[in-house]
Amino acid sequence: MLCLGIETSCDETALALVRNGQCVESVLATQMDIHALFGGVVPELASREHYRFVGALYDELMRRSGLSLQDVDVIAVTRGPGLLGALLVGIAFGKGLALAGNKPLVAVNHLHAHLLAAGLEQKLDYPLLGLLVSGGHTHIYRLDGPDSLVLLGRTLDDAAGEACDKFAKMMGLPYPGGVLLDRLAQRGTPDVHLFPRPYTHVENLDFSFSGLKTAALVYLEAHPGLREEGRLIREQGIDVASPALCNVCASYMLAVAETLSIKMHRALEQKNSAGINGIIVAGGVAANTQVRAAMQNLADTVGKPLLLPSRFLCTDNAVMVAHAGELLAERGFGHDLSFSAIPRGQRIPDDKGRLERTLYPDFLPCR
């Protein structure tokens, strides 16, 4: 089955063709430079840029692959979570193609697609425990299959990626902060005691990164030189970074990584995790060096395999959307032209209001 994936949930316009779990071709246009001028993603600009690029990227994808719409068996498009206007551009484009080519459509949950991306590189032996760490989400899931993901824990405030981006911003570093923080941290030595592992004293699987952000703010106020240096790095690049600044970045990232690892360890000890065959870590923050190391450490400790997508598949892309789409279509799922974006996701609490199941309530049989 050849699946065309379309991803426009945030600031990356991406399209890809995937056949039976293998990427045939993919194209991606990032808007990073535009949003960097404003220090963060500007939703209206994001929609306009997706609109400007999506058609040209589709042509480029087909030109590079030597394929045409006739060859496509199913079209998968991200329906959320994400920015409403941005999602609607991809959805409208996908519907247009489906209508023009008389092709079946499947709407994909962006977070599920991140997690299922691990299956493009390794065989997924369900059930699995999944950690999704991105710019907008920090979720722990139990995965029983490509269409059955149970949410076990989530962040109560900032997502892990947001905690990285905001700390970088506090230091005067340019947007997007997470990747830069990673590069600076790799040049430093972490101090385990400098920052807290926030909310880990609470015996549940939820996260809260606000305590870490406050601790970092207090530290930066006591060390104003670091912020001046951050602004210098913005102008002159990371080679002017001092060892002290790199050490602070390494300490902060270690706090994020260990916090994620502590909660994942707890998740593995719960009865919900009985029979778990492995751990998936996905989303933009899964590209982080210290997060990857902490998760490998955890996997080694508990003796479970770690399924970590390569860095390209961690950050936003359409290969993961096409792959999730083909998995769902293979199982008979699909949508008609009436579906719309779900910008904030769709969660269904269980009777205790704690465990949540993220479903696709409006699936129709594939045509």
Residues that bind ligand KG4 (CB under 6 A): 10, 134-136, 161, 164-165, 176-179, 181-182, 283-285, 287-288, 315-316
- Measured from the CB atom, the residue of 11 and 326 that comes closer to Zn ion is 11
3-state secondary structure of 206: coil
Minimum separation from the CB atom of position 159 to ligand KG4 (A)? 7
How far, in Å, CA of 140 to CA of 128, rounded?
11
C-alpha to C-alpha distances, 178 to 184, 209, 252, 284, 333, nearest whole angstrom: 10, 15, 11, 9, 35
How far, in Å, CA of 48 to CA of 96, rounded?
18
Minimum separation from the CB atom of position 327 to Zn ion (A)? 18
Q: Which residues contact 221 (CB under 8 A, 6 or more apart)?
A: none
Minimum separation from the CB atom of position 268 to ligand KG4 (A)? 23
- Measured from the CB atom, the residue of 134 and 259 that comes closer to Zn ion is 134
Write phi, then psi, for 102 (nearest 5 degrees): 55, 55
How far, in Å, CA of 261 to CA of 281, rounded?
11
Minimum separation from the CB atom of position 323 to Zn ion (A)? 14
Residue 109 interface partner, choices Zn ion, ligand KG4, none, CB cut-off 5-8 Å depending on type: none
Minimum separation from the CB atom of position 284 to Zn ion (A)? 6
- Measured from the CB atom, the residue of 134 and 155 that comes closer to Zn ion is 134
Q: What 8-state DSSP symbol labels residue 68?
A: -
The binder of Zn ion chosen from 147, 182, 229, 316 (CB under 5 A) = 316
- Measured from the CB atom, the residue of 316 and 356 that comes closer to Zn ion is 316
Residue 278 interface partner, choices Zn ion, ligand KG4, none, CB cut-off 5-8 Å depending on type: none
3-state secondary structure of 207: strand
Of residues 108-147, which lie at the interface with Zn ion (CB under 5 A)? 134
Residue 178 interface partner, choices ligand KG4, Zn ion, none, CB cut-off 5-8 Å depending on type: ligand KG4
How far, in Å, CA of 138 to CA of 262, rounded?
14
Residue 164 interface partner, choices Zn ion, ligand KG4, none, CB cut-off 5-8 Å depending on type: ligand KG4
Q: Where are the beta strands (DSSP E) in the chain?
A: 2-7, 12-19, 22-30, 74-80, 105-109, 128-133, 138-145, 148-154, 279-282, 306-307, 333-334, 348-349, 356-358, 364-365
Per-residue burial over 146-175, b = 16 or more CB atoms within 10 Å of its CB, e = otherwise = bbbbbbbbbbebbbbbbbbbbbbbbbbbbb
Of residues 31-60, which lie at the interface with Zn ion (CB under 5 A)? none
CA 194 to chain centre: 27
- Measured from the CB atom, the residue of 325 and 334 that comes closer to ligand KG4 is 325
> Does 251 interact with Zn ion (rule: CB under 5 A)?
no
Minimum separation from the CB atom of position 337 to ligand KG4 (A)? 26
Q: What is the token pair recorded at 64? A: 């590079």
Q: What is the token pair recorded at 266? A: 């707890």
Q: What is the CA radius of gyration of the chain?
A: 20
Minimum separation from the CB atom of position 178 to ligand KG4 (A)? 2
- Measured from the CB atom, the residue of 81 and 278 that comes closer to ligand KG4 is 81
- Measured from the CB atom, the residue of 285 and 322 that comes closer to ligand KG4 is 285
Minimum separation from the CB atom of position 269 to ligand KG4 (A)? 27
Residue 290's nearest CA partner among 312, 258, 316 is: 258
How far, in Å, CA of 364 to CA of 110, rounded?
19
- Measured from the CB atom, the residue of 155 and 315 that comes closer to ligand KG4 is 315
Residue 288 interface partner, choices ligand KG4, Zn ion, none, CB cut-off 5-8 Å depending on type: ligand KG4
Residue 179 interface partner, choices ligand KG4, Zn ion, none, CB cut-off 5-8 Å depending on type: ligand KG4
Minimum separation from the CB atom of position 312 to Zn ion (A)? 13
- Measured from the CB atom, the residue of 81 and 190 that comes closer to Zn ion is 81
Residues of the shown chain interacting with Zn ion in the complex, contacts defined by CB under 5 A? 134, 316
